[in-house]
Chain A
Amino acid sequence: MTDQPLSSSGPAGGIRPRRPSFLARSRWNPYVVGALIGVLSWIAFGIAGKPLGVSTSVSAAAGACLIPFAGADAVRGNAYWARHFPKWDYGMLFLVGILGGALVSSLISRSFRPEVVPAVWAERFGPSRAKRLVGALVGGVIIMYGARLAGGCTSGHGISGSLQLAVSSWTFFLTMFASGALTALVLFRSRTRA
């Protein structure tokens, strides 16, 4: 990063609210972000030799959480975790990086805030925190089971697989999107008033 000021308290001013510097802006143009993620995938493939991917390591982390209770041998005895035994490998550290990157990004742009009930949920299901947390928990269970069954998530299939034109990944992308749209239709039946 350069030594530019992070928030422009400088000469801007005027009628419109002053435009913060690029680094301080909390939202970037989605096409620019998409292109930069594309460039990041070149680096991931070419330099690290590992495509961007998340869900494999999350399920490995699930095994790590069981080790204190069931013991490492029991976890290793599972046919799935025998293949993906939890360790601080590339995939796991990649997740740590994501957490750190988003944390720093939100702090710099002053958009870090503890959120429990997001606006779109509240509009449809009300302000109950318990309700939203149960929803998030259940949704988390469902999404990770689906990701592992499909062999990847929005990163591993959706981006890394689709950009290699994999049949499995495009099938994932289109099916996931159709299923999500259908789910949204059922959950958020629009009650538009004239």
Chain B
Amino acid sequence: MFPLEGTASLIAAVVIGFVFGLLLHRGGVANYNVIVNQFRFRDFTVLKIMFTAIIVGGIGVLLLRNLGWAKPDIKSADMLAVVLGAAIFGVGMVVYGYCPGTSIAAIGTGSIHALVGFVGMLIGGALYAFSFPWVQTHILSVASYGRIRLPDISGVSDVAWFGILIVIAAVVFFLLERLQPRAAATSPDA
């Protein structure tokens, strides 16, 4: 029965996308100011959402995988491409003020500059497609280790990794919630 196929799968795409878009908006991350202020360490909404999603999602998906109800979908560790791409991505995220997913959500909330930036994303996607043959031979193949996971290279089990992540999250979130009121008080609100 699962995974869904055909029309049911396409309906699921719209429904899951709809909920994702709604959550991005309600989470406050379909907003330029919130995203840029994360990178200025003035607003930690992005990290709070992402880290909670990774831990809650990760434990559930681990369980689904062990039950045989979900298949892993790991992107290849083509390390040169990932590091270069991520570095470029970080620049783009601060200049644009959105990431690809939140930009589409922002367009839904009426952001005109997100829409203009979406045209930029189409251009960027096309530039990548044009450069792909070169990138494939010169960058994607460098330091390529395949579909590896942290448990594979560390010898630390999945469960232990989530234990570590929960401890890190608990400490970071606790400190953020303790420090935030003071940080907000010192921010120059006119």
Contacts of A52 in B (CB 8 A): 16, 20, 101
Contacts of B54 in A (CB 8 A): 38, 159, 162-163
B70 touches A115 (CB 8 A): no
Contacts of B94 in A (CB 8 A): 139, 180, 183-184, 187
CB distance from A63 to the nearest CB of B (A): 6
CB distance from B48 to the nearest CB of A (A): 4
Closest to B129 in A: A80
Closest to A157 in B: B75
B76 touches A151 (CB 8 A): yes
Contacts of B55 in A (CB 8 A): 38, 163
The contact string, 1 if C-beta is below 8 Å from chain A, for chain B 65-107, is: 0000111111111110111111111111111111111111111
Contacts of A160 in B (CB 8 A): 57, 73
B91 touches A58 (CB 8 A): no
Q: A18 CA to B4 CA in the complex, in Å?
A: 43
Q: A149 CA to B16 CA in the complex, in Å?
A: 26
Closest to B64 in A: A46
Contacts of B120 in A (CB 8 A): 136-144
Contacts of B114 in A (CB 8 A): 136
A172 touches B82 (CB 8 A): yes
Partner of B53, one of A80, A141, A163, A183: A163
The contact string, 1 if C-beta is below 8 Å from chain A, for chain B 26-48, is: 11101111001111110001001
CB distance from B37 to the nearest CB of A (A): 6
The contact string, 1 if C-beta is below 8 Å from chain A, for chain B 1-40, is: 0111000011011111111111111111011110011111
Q: A-side binding surface: helix, strand, loop or mixed?
A: helix
Q: A28 CA to B79 CA in the complex, in Å?
A: 36
Partner of A41, one of B37, B57, B90, B101: B57
Partner of B124, one of A37, A60, A142: A142
Whether A146 contacts B91 in the complex (CB less than 8 A), given A34-B48, A140-B103, comes out as yes
Q: A113 CA to B121 CA in the complex, in Å?
A: 22
B90-142 CB contacts (< 8 Å) to partner A: 90-114, 116-130, 132-133, 135-136, 139
B86 touches A101 (CB 8 A): no
CB distance from A15 to the nearest CB of B (A): 22
Contacts A94-B17, A145-B125 known; list 14 others, CB within 8 Å.
Answer: A30-B49, A37-B56, A42-B57, A62-B123, A101-B20, A111-B109, A132-B113, A141-B124, A144-B121, A151-B85, A154-B93, A159-B53, A162-B50, A167-B145
14 contacts between A and B (CB under 8 A): A25-B26, A26-B25, A34-B49, A34-B50, A80-B132, A106-B109, A135-B113, A140-B103, A140-B121, A143-B99, A150-B89, A151-B78, A167-B152, A180-B93
Instruction: Give B contacts to A, CB under 8 Å.
Output: 2-4, 9-10, 12-28, 30-33, 36-41, 45, 48-58, 60-61, 64, 69-79, 81-114, 116-130, 132-133, 135-136, 139, 145, 147-153, 158, 161, 173
Top 6 closest pairs, chain A to chain B, by CB:
A97-B17, A140-B120, A49-B3, A150-B85, A34-B52, A179-B90
